[in-house]
Amino acid sequence: MFEDFENRSGFWKDLGSNFTINYSGDAPSFLTSGEMWSSMDGSETQTLAAWENGWVLTNNPDGTMTATPKYTSGLISKTLVRVPVGPQAPMSSPTGGVGGVQVAFSAQGTEEQHFWKNKVQIFEHCMSDENFTFGWEKTLDVGEYDRETLEPNNKNDNISAIHIPEGYKVVAHQNYIDDADTGTVWEWDGPMNKTCLADGSGAANDQISYLKITCLSGYTQNDIGVCVKSTGGGTGGTGTGGTGGTGGTGGPYIAPIAPCADANRETNTDGSCAAGCKTDYEFDSVTGDCVESSSDTEPEEEEDGINWLLWGGLAAVGILAFTM
């Protein structure tokens, strides 16, 4: 067993001079259950003991491990890498006379080192907890996570810290969403780090059984599932809409132009009705449509009778001749 202990990713060989290994009692057996191991894609981090609880672990020559699911079919294997931990002042002697190996290092977390991803992260322990780096960490995509999702991985009622990046909204329920009583509901908008859910009134520490993660208004998921600011712009009706600003409203809305339905009316260049009627047409005061002008109608024929104009002309000629 001790040989396996030495070969675990060179754990002891890579500690460096800032660590002190203290032996007491008999030679140590395999004591790496508290090591932190993370999937290579960074989606899940937990102790070696937690990995061994649900996965079959196999050592690889390069120091990584292959994790194969024990119970759930359909899940793919993961490649695990050991998470390094930072040094602190070494302990001079074992405490309580406990036999085995003691390695002194800080197990507390920091926001810069642990609360930094561009997706929501949940943690088993508060950041200030001495066991923070021994606990699991899980990165979550947009979606819903209920008891069936959380419980197989020991995360139901076991969340003590949460990282919410910019653009994300998290709604957490104390009980399962389909329970008759969902209990307390917490809502958080990013960017926000809840480094310890045990702080404050109505604390959510070890109480969460359901999570719903969405993008905030004005944010959309990109091609890798990260909530990012929505792009502005738009055509703005028939115009270009300018740059669209930050809200993406574009230019003002312009209603479509309806073609002129009056065939006797002048039209504008866009096909709409102009102010005047076509030649030989005039507005009807009742209907408002352009109708044929009344002056263009043929005059009625004069009734038969005496042509007074002709007789008047002849009389004038006769008088002029008489005076001469």
| Predicted confidence (pLDDT) per residue in 272-287, tens digit | 787 788 888 887 777 7
Structure tokens at 216: 């905030």
Instruction: Select the more confidently predicted residue: 43 or 142.
Output: 142
Q: What is the spatial distance between Cα 309 and Cα 154, in angstroms, rounded to a whole number?
A: 121
Q: Does domain 107-242 have CATH number 1.10.540.10?
A: no
Give per-residue pLDDT as tens, 44-79: 888 888 888 888 899 888 888 998 888 766 678 889
Token match 């993370």: residue?
38
Partners of 220 in beta bridges: 228
Give the up-direction half-sphere exposure of residue 280: CA atoms within 13 A in the CB hemisphere. 4
Q: What is the spatial distance between Cα 68 and Cα 54, in angstroms, rounded to a whole number?
A: 9
Residue 321: pLDDT band (50, 70, 90) is low
* Omega cis (within 30) before 191: yes
> How many Cβ atoms are within 10 Å of 136's Cβ, its own excluded?
22
Partners of 102 in beta bridges: 22
Domain ranges of the chain: 1-103, 107-242, 259-290
